[in-house]
Structure formats: structure tokens, C-alpha cells
Amino acid sequence: MTEPGSTTEPGAAEGNYAGDFAHVGVQATTVHGDVNYYSSPVDASPKVKFATGVRLLEGGMPGKARQLIHEAVVDGHTGNKVCFHWQLALLSGRTWHEMPHEDIMRLRQAPTICRVTAGDSWADGVEIVHRLLNSVQQGNTDPGPLLKDFDELYDPQRAMILRHLELFLDGPLKNQMWHRALQDARRDQMDGDRADRVWKFFHPEPANPRQQEPRPPNIPVGTWVRAVVATVVLAVVLLHIGYLLVRGLQVYALAVYLLSIAGGCLAARGGLEWRFRTERCRAKDQEYAAPRTRTAQPPPGGFANKVDQSFRRYFGRYVPRQTDRATWLAETAGIRKSLRDEIVEVYREQRIGVERISWLIRYRVSEVRKQWENGTLFAYRYELATPLSTKILTLIGLAITVFGGSQVMESAMRLAPLSAARSTALALAAGVITALAWQHIILEYRRYAADKAEATRTQEGCQAAYERWKQKLADKPTDLEMAAWLDRDRKVLLNEALRHYGLSMSDIIAHAFIETPGPRTKRARVQNGPWRYSRYRLFLFLLTSDGIRQLSSELDFERGTLHGWNRVNYRYEAVAAVRVHQPNDDECRFELTLVNGEQIKFNVLTPGQEELQMNEAHGAVSEVTLDAAGFHHTLHVMEGIAAEGKQWIKQERRRQSKQNVA
């Protein structure tokens, strides 16, 4: 293996080897089920099939595009635009000799079948493609007039030809067209605000914030019965005591009696406020307190476990300024558990991925950090502290009730001892029962109202955060943009390889790419589309007259930069075997064995990628991912080398000549 910046002589020993069969760590997985570019109903009209085929072609999946566009043409959908896209689909991603005879015939007959008529830019594009075909087949023709007409062609036809005919072109035309393709790729590599938008593709459509409904007031029927009955009994007894005082003309005692009742009402009101604040503060303390015992861990891979991991990650990341991480995590352990339990409870039955509520978890954690930094995280202790005035009024009311009640009972006992004693006993019993019953009822309703108000405030904050996040993701790149950017990155890599080896495009007999997920990558796809990655490992095979040049580099897709170059050179005779190991639909491993026993192998698909959505066929996602990665063309080339060695070059040219004649 040669290091970046070094050189390797042609025909170097076949022992040079780059090992890239490493584990790929995936940080996040997203499937945009709300976006579907790449499928059409079984009974779709020819127009719909054609439109879907065009999107597949633009998305870098020519295999399925060929099928759908052909079906649309067979069903009668024709015209200049149809013919142009059909031509590109037939040629894209493969060389002339890779095309089966029936596709060659379709390519030649496309203008006639589609009834092409001159007069628009699509017809001009059809004509240019036809002339390019003739130039490749005839060779040794002056490309000047053709290139002049090509340069006068408008976009998108010009750009599409440069993109899809890269492998097909040959001869003196190849260098000229490559120069134009590279120029466009460099110019447009970071267009569309790529650096600020790519990351958004790997975030799913956020789920709506859901409000946790507070626990309804828990008031048993028996409590209501006790409250009503005891209140009625108390009212009757108090009236009876008042009647005794009126009948005995005890004016002073009657005034004291009314004052003691007012004091009792004052004490009850203040006492309820005091009790409510105390209990609510205690409940908040318990909610936010760190768990004293280790709680059972949810099953690995489940929804609750993923929510746990997400909360741990964001609490570990969002440490307040000037705060020790260990202190922050210890002090917020209870809050973290409370928030986690709330999210799990609200979303557990919604069958959504944690990725869709990551925005909500981030927001809730950021709010905790903000409150910590503002010193308001435990502000409820001050807000719920009972005012001194309430305590004083409660104690005064209680004192008035006790003092006045004793004075009144003494006067009543002098007037009617037996009746007063009976009423006093009933009043005390009914008063206790009434106080306890109504206390429970009122506190439950107040607790529910406070929970409701708190939940509403939280929901309003979450809704505002949700709207902000949706707005931030509003310009998420489409899959077609992702495919176009990746195609430009490929061209930049190819140019770096040509520059390093001092080669021109016409020196390259054939070239092939394979794209694999890079380390610590994020991945996402649209429904029925291929996986896209935030980091790629790009492999490039260059077939020259002296041997095979293999290059690999890690692509930071967001920034469009290449890092970590590895180069391997070996002769055609050094290739002993090419294998593809695909034990299931979502795993594919490419292995190239050299005659000295060394192996070059890497994963094209990693296990666990086949995450199907509704209306997705098993294996379909893997197939389009392999198609978009250029796997089929690369496999064709490398299997040919393994089978025929350097003779493959002559055999391919012989096969191409036969097809040209046919």
C-alpha cells in the first residue's frame, strides 16, 4: 500500500493490499416515509411510470429506470422528452459492451419508436446522443463539429448527457467530454447551499409534540358521600347551637359564635392553601430526586431503551457553562428520569422511531440547562413556599375558632346541658369528617388544575420548538440533489486519481466505482430509495494498459471533502478471484483475492439496513442501493478481469466490435 503523495510504478507487485473490511458504526438511521420519489402503483399510467423512471435515473438508479421507461414507451407514451430519457437510461451506468443486444436495438430504434420531431431542446438532445453513439462506433472522426453543437445545447440536456454517458464514451471524444464534465462538477460541487443543508437529509420528519394528560382527580364516591352528609350534619348542628343562644338571648355569646365560625372559615381556607403548597412542593422534590435504587433497565433495542440512550447522550452533551459534568449529571438524575418516563409514556404506543422525537428530547434537555444557568431549575421551591401572611391568618383563624368555640359551648351548656353536649359532640365529629373529605376533594381539583396548567405551558413551549425545527428542516435536500452531489464527488475523486498517476481519460480502458458506508456515519433514505450516507468510503478501480489502479478515500459528504487516501496497484494476472457474499437481502460483501492469497474486501451493504416501510418489497431497497453504488458495473468489470486477465481488454473490444456490426 502506498501512502498519499507517494508513487507506485506500473506493474508493481501484486502483494500491495489495502484492507478496508472494517466495522461501520452507524450513528443514526432515518427513513423518510413521507417522501416517495421512486415507486408507482401497479396499475400506473404510462405517464406516471415515465415520471418515476426519470426520477430513478436522476437518483442514480438506471437499472430500474430502464425498466419503467421501457414499459411507458411500450404502453404508448412517446415524444421527444421520452426518447431522450430512454436513451440516457439505456446508456447510463454501463459501457457499450455491457449492453445486451435487445437494449442496443432499442437504443438505435428509440427516435423512430418515440416519433421524435425536431423543434425543441429535447429533440436537440436526442440528436446529440445519436451523434455521440455514431462517433464512438466509428472512431477516428473529427469531434470538433459535434462538440461545438454539444456546447450550444441548453441545460438540463447538456448536464444530463455529461453525467450519464461518462462510461460509454471512448476515443478522442472522451477527453473533451471529460474536461467539460469535470469543469461542471467542480463548479457545482457545493452549490445549492450544500454544506448547510446536507445534515438535514439525515433528520426525519419530526413527530408532533404530544401532551401528557394529567392524572384526573381521584375522588371516590365514598368521599363525596362523606363530604355531603357530614356537611349537612354540621350545618344542622351549628344552626341548633345558634338557636339555643338566640332562645337564651345570649347576644354576646351569639356574636362570639359568629366570629368563631368566620375564624374557622379563615383557618380552613388558609390551611388548604398551606397544605396544597406543601404537598405540591414535596411531590416536585420526589419527582426530581435522584432514584435511590437502581431501576430495571428496559430491553435493549426497544423504544424505551433508545429514549434512555437519547436522554443520556443529550444530558451529557448539554452541560451548562461553568458546571462540572459529574455535578450536572448527578443533580439532574431525577429530572432526567422524570422526562424520560414522560416521553416513553406519551409515545410508546405511537409506533414511531426515536429519531422523530430527538428534536423534542433535545428541546426538553436544553430547557433544563437553561433553567440551571438561570438559577430557576428549582425555583418551584420558592414559588410554592407558603407566604408568611397565609400562615399567620391560618393560625389566627384557628385560634379564634378554638377560643370562641369554647366560650360559646360554655354558654350553651348553661342553657341546655344535654342538648348542647350532644350538639357539640356531633359538631366535632362532623367537622373533622367534613374537613378531611373536602380537603381531599379540593386538593385533588387544585392539583389537577395545576398539572393541567403546567402541561399546557410545556406543550406551548414544545409546539413552538416543533415549529422552529420544522422551519429549519424546510429546505432539506431532495434525494435527487443528494445523488447529483455524490456524482460530482465521484468525478473529483476520479480526477485526483488521473492527476496522481499522470493519466488522461483516454488512457483509461475502463473505470468503476463502489460506494460503501464510511465509519461513524449517519444514513437516511426516502421510501423505495437507496441509502445515502453522511460519510462514504469510495473505491475506484482504474483499468490501464499496465494494470489495475485501485484507490479508496473517505468522503465527508456534508463538506464534499476527501480524506485518507489508500492506493493499491496490481497486474491483471494478479487477480485470482472475485466473490460477492450476500447471505441475506440487507448484506453484501465484495471480495477480491490476489494470486498470493491476499484479499481486498469490504462491505457494500451492512446488516440491518433493510428497514422496510409500507409498500416496500423485501430486497428492493438493497437492490436500488447496490444500483446507485455502481456495484453491478464494477462487478462486471472485475469478474471479467478475474476470468480472462489482461485478455479481457481484447475480448471486450472484440465483443464491442461485434455489437457495432450488429
Q: Show the 3-state SS of 317-383.
A: HCCCCCCCHHHHHHHCHHHHHHHHHHHHHHHHHHCCCHHHHHHHHHHHHHHHHHHHHHCCCCCHHHH
In this structure, are 433 and 567 located in the same domain? no
In this structure, are 178 and 238 located in the same domain? no
Which of residues 472, 490, 518 is at a domain's end?
472
Strands 575-584 and 587-594 come out as antiparallel
Instruction: Give the residue among 548, 509, 551, 538 at the shortest CA–CA distance from 642.
Output: 548
In this structure, are 304 and 325 located in the same domain? yes
Domain count, the chain: 3
In this structure, are 420 and 466 located in the same domain? yes
Which residues pair with residue 207 across a beta bridge? none
Which of residues 146, 181, 197 is at a domain's end?
197
In this structure, are 87 and 112 located in the same domain? yes
Three-state DSSP class for residue 384: coil
Segments of the chain with pLDDT less than 70:
1-28, 139-140, 293-296, 350-351, 584-586, 607-618, 649-662
In this structure, are 236 and 263 located in the same domain? yes
Residue 73 included in any domain: yes
Residue 579 included in any domain: yes
- Computed over its alpha carbons, how large is the radius of gyration of the chain? 39
In this structure, are 630 and 587 located in the same domain? yes
In this structure, are 520 and 651 located in the same domain? yes
Q: For residues 531 and 60, is the Cβ–Cβ distance under 8 A? A: no
Residue 214 included in any domain: no
Residue 213 included in any domain: no
In this structure, are 275 and 392 located in the same domain? yes
Instruction: Give the residue among 282, 279, 291 at the shortest CA–CA distance from 336.
Output: 291
Tell me, what's the pLDDT at 19? 47
In this structure, are 174 and 283 located in the same domain? no
Which structural domain range is residue 93 located in? 42-197
The predicted model scores a pTM of 0.80
Residue 212 included in any domain: no
Tell me, what's the pLDDT at 137? 75
Tell me, what's the pLDDT at 172? 77
Tell me, what's the pLDDT at 661? 46
Residue 206 included in any domain: no
Which of residues 429, 455, 472 is at a domain's end?
472
Measure CA 545 to chain center. 46
In this structure, are 99 and 149 located in the same domain? yes
In this structure, are 417 and 502 located in the same domain? no
Residue 207 included in any domain: no
Residue 600 included in any domain: yes
